Amino acid sequence: MELSPFYQELFTSLNRGVVMSVALIVPSAIGGVIIGILAGVIRTFGGRFVRAVGDGYAAVFRGTPLVVQLFVIYFGLPNLGIYLSPYVAAVTGFMLCSGAYQSEYVRGALLSIKSGQYLGAQALGFTTFQTIFWIVVPQAVRRAIHGCGNEIIYLIKYSSLAFIVTCIELTGEGKTIATEYFRFTEVFMVIGVYYLLLVTIAMMILKRIEKTLYVPGFGRS
C-alpha cells in the first residue's frame, strides 16, 4: 500500500530529523556526564573558592530556563565576538545544563560515601587524589547512575528545543511539515511516537549499563 504524498514527506523529514536529534543527544549526554562528575567532585572536595565557582555554575544553569540559556549562547555570544553554529550552540547549551543537574546527583552520591572509606584508603597509603579517583568516585558513580540516567532521559526531550536556535532536528522538521500542510495533530502524534521510541531505547541502554556496573552486595538491599 503506497503512502500519500503527505505521509511520504512526513516520514522522510522526521527520519532526517531523528538523525540530527541523535547527533545532538549523544555528545550532549556524554559531555553532560563528564561535566557533572567533574563539577560534583569540585563542589564536594574543592577549596572554598573552587566550590563557590562550582556552586555558582550549578545555580545558574539549574535556576534559569534552558530556552534562555540557548538564546544567550546562540544570539548573545556574537556580541562578544563568539560565533557558534546552530549545532554547536545547541550541544553546548545541552551539555552545560545537563552537567549542572548531573553534578548535583554526583555530589549527593559522593557525600553518601562513609568516612571509613577515606580513612581506610589513607591507612593504605593512598593520596587524597588517589582516594577520590580510585575509591570514592567509582562507588559514587554507581549510586548516582539512576539520577544521571533520568537526566539523560530528560535530555532526549530537551533536544526538541534545538530548533529555536535554527538547528532543525526532529521537532523542527515536524513543525515545518505541520505548517506546510496544516495537519498539526497527525504530525505531532507521530513525533511523540518517535520520542517514545528514543526514550525506550535509552532506557534499555541505561539498564544494560547499570547491570554492567553492578557489584553484588553494593547499592541494593
- Residues lower than pLDDT 70 in the chain: 1-3, 217-221
At 220 the pLDDT is 55
Domains of the chain: 5-213 (1.10.3720.10)
Query: 166: number of CA atoms within 13 Å, CB side?
Result: 6
Query: What's the CA gap between 57 and 62, in Å, rounded?
Result: 8
The helix/strand/coil state of 125 is coil
For residues 186 and 122, give the distance between their C-alpha atoms in angstroms, rounded to a whole number: 62
Judge contact between 194 and 204, C-beta under 8 A: no
* pLDDT of res. 31: 96
Per-residue pLDDT of 107-134, as tens digits, reads: 999 988 888 888 888 888 888 888 888 8
Distance from C-alpha of 126 to C-alpha of 5, rounded to nearest angstrom: 67
pLDDT of residue 218: 61
Could you tell me if 106 and 90 are in contact, meaning their C-beta atoms sit under 8 angstroms apart?
no
